[in-house]
A and B are shown apart, each in its own frame.
Chain A
Amino acid sequence: MRAGQLDALVEAVAADGGVEFDGLNANHRDDGYGFRTPHTERTGLSEAEFREVAESNPWFVSNWFYWTREVGLGDRETGEADSGRRDGASARRAFLRWAERADDHGVPERYEALADGVSREWGQLCVTATVADHGERRYHLRHVADADADLSSLDVYTDPLEARGIATYDERGRYRPLKTAPTLRDGWAFADLDGRALVEAVDVVYPATVPNWYREREGRLDVSHWNETAERQTGIYDVVDELDEEAVEWIAESCCVDSQCLKRRMWDADEETELDADRGDGVFPCREPCSLVVAAARKWTTLEREESRTYEFELTPSEKEQVEEIIDAVADGRTDEIREADVYEGANRYRARFLRAKRFDDEGNLSGTPTDE
């Protein structure tokens, strides 16, 4: 605790008549100052005595100072409570308190835990909160896969915007169009961020997840369901509202599960019609079909206009199973895991090439059967 923090507390008590925060109750009544924590209760204190008691409970003072003066919302706090909507700063504060489990633990337990570092997972991010001198929090950010890695083995960054380079490509150097895909690469760390910089870095990696998570906690996450989102589309996306509910179900099942996206799907067909697909276990919610889903849905809308027809193919039972295995492997992104010489796997490249050599004609038609007869 710094002297300035205690001065600020005395000033706040004098100005507002009392301060109540995270178990600290400091007040000024006719009989003098009062100072109460879960472990201390003193009343009728002179200012000098009040300062003395506060000095022997420095964690409560510095904790109050950090959350109300450093992270604090300044003059905006009242305005925000009124509007209930302009909540960017409140979301930031709620996230930082979540990071140190402020809602679950009192100040002394928290300070003890923060001395070693309190870690939480946010998608594939591991956020660690620590307490520095005078109750100042410092934050550390890295990939969950590197949770126990030695810092010297990681690339260390300081500017939150440098997270852009990390989030743009996956570990194979491919562009990541969906920021919340579970393909964030590891091997990096932001070792010493203040609260604002931490939230900025998280926002670069997983844009808008903090404000949406905050709204959900406050019980006012606005969800745009499929039908509403589809009807809103114009131009080339105007057609996506033609998809029937079954196809929407397939979209959720194929795109919006943990293996593809770490957001927890909150949207359904509409408010009354829940989709069966798994919503995912992500800590942050997905409040409407994203642009990737809408763009994919446009393609599916045109494909779904086609009627199915009957084709005749010659395949051995094993070849039929092989086709199924290939589709599975591609859909699950496992083709790279199949070993070069593992011809027991249906989706092995040599197996697939053998099937093609045997069953495709010169035009690439399966079983020599043309697509348009």
Chain B
Amino acid sequence: MQALVIVAHGSHLNPDSSAPTYDHADTIRDVGAFDEVKTGFWKEEPSLREVLRTVESDEVFVVPMFISEGYFTEQVIPRELRLDGWDVSEWDSDGLSASHATLTAADTNQRVHYCGPVGTHESMTDVLVRRAESVTGDPEVGAGFGLAVVGHGTERNENSAKAIEYHAERIREMDRFDEVQALYMDEEPEVDDVTEYFESDDVVVVPLFIADGFHTQEDIPEDMGLTDDYRTGYDVPAEVDGHRIWYAGAVGTESLMADVVLERAAEAGADVGDAVETVRERTRGSPAAGD
């Protein structure tokens, strides 16, 4: 028996933080690739300390719903899951390349295939593009459009910006959008000045965040000038300085994210059959999770 466990941050204050994790778990459960699909959280229940106890399988694939490698993926999750002998060198990563490491959970004796975070997986690039398609309602969106990938950015962890740069560069290489730019909340170039970085009239803005919350629903729309007060809402697209801003909200709520989770597990050795194609098929055109 093999199980998938998706681990995420969660929140004590609102349920939106864990909603995408539940949605993607449901999508994967429906395609039947795993005997069990479970979720565990840092701030919700079951806690990371106890989630493996809720799993009957011996073989467990753990996929973190986090954007970048860093404090949570390298310290908190392995510690709380009690992954025996974990050391970050197991991932042999440059900050973007963590794939998986196989360890034993001291608590349950299960074999745990601990995967890199979803945010740094190459398939995440496709999800960002799909997000642009779903927010514009145009499966061919690209020509005449600019695309901004927005990250939190922080001076405390260089990996945080790496993931944003990485996907922005990959989208640029697709040669699909007229312009592609990586922008940040807390460092230069800032999302506040989004219109200064684009010549295109139409700009899709996709935050590389797991869940919609304070930053994606309040800070970023206000900072970009989509609205003076997030509570009054904003249009999509909204007119700012002569540009049409198509604000997409957190990429993590896009239903195609389930595919990234599956690919992480498959690369760690999970037998997922044709689930990857099925999920790609099923999530196409379906409303974004959490909408």
Contact = CB atoms under 8 A, between A and B. Distances in A.
Interface of A: 83, 85-86, 88-89, 91-92, 161, 164, 168-169, 175, 177-180, 203, 207-208, 211-212, 215, 222, 224, 232, 234-235, 287-288, 290-292, 295
B12 A85 contact: no
A88 B46 CA distance: 14
B51 interface: yes
A83 B105 CA distance: 13
Contact of A175 (B14, B53, B79): B14
Given A86-B58, A234-B76, A292 B46 contact: no
B51 to A, nearest CB: 7
Given A232-B79, A235-B71, A207 B12 contact: no
A291 B50 CA distance: 12
B51 A208 contact: yes
Interface string B38-55: 000011111101110111
B154 interface: no
A295 B41 CA distance: 14
Nearest to A83: B109
Contacts of A222: 107
B49 A88 contact: no
Given A86-B58, A212-B50, A232-B79, A207 B108 contact: no
A212 B51 CA distance: 11
A88 B44 contact: no
Given A86-B108, A164-B22, A168-B15, A295 B50 contact: no
Interface of B: 11-15, 22, 26, 42-47, 49-51, 53-58, 71, 75-76, 79, 107-110
Contact of B45 (A85, A169, A208): A208
A87 B137 CA distance: 48
A208 B56 contact: no
Residue of B12, B56, B75 with most partner-chain A CB within 10 A = B56
Contacts of B107: 85, 222
Given A177-B44, A234-B76, A208 B54 contact: yes
A211 B50 contact: yes
A211 B56 CA distance: 10
12 contacts: A85-B109, A86-B109, A91-B53, A169-B15, A175-B14, A177-B44, A207-B45, A208-B50, A211-B54, A288-B49, A290-B45, A291-B44
The 8 closest A-B CB pairs, nearest first, are: A88-B56, A207-B46, A211-B53, A208-B50, A207-B45, A177-B12, A208-B46, A179-B45
Given A88-B55, A175-B14, A180-B45, 9 more contacts: A83-B109, A86-B109, A89-B56, A177-B12, A208-B45, A234-B71, A291-B12, A291-B44, A291-B47
Contacts of A88: 53-57
B110 A291 contact: no
Contact of B54 (A169, A203, A234, A235): A203
B158 to A, nearest CB: 17
Contacts of B79: 232, 234
Residue of B11, B43, B79 with most partner-chain A CB within 10 A = B43
Contact of B53 (A169, A180, A208, A232): A208
B110 A86 contact: yes
B94 to A, nearest CB: 23
B53 A212 contact: yes
B47 A290 contact: yes
A51 to B, nearest CB: 35
Contacts of B42: 291
Contact of B12 (A91, A161, A203, A295): A295
Given A212-B53, A291-B42, A85 B108 contact: yes
A85 B45 CA distance: 21
A305 B47 CA distance: 29
Contacts of B12: 177, 291-292, 295
A85 B47 CA distance: 19
Contacts of A224: 49
Contacts of B71: 234-235
Nearest to A203: B54
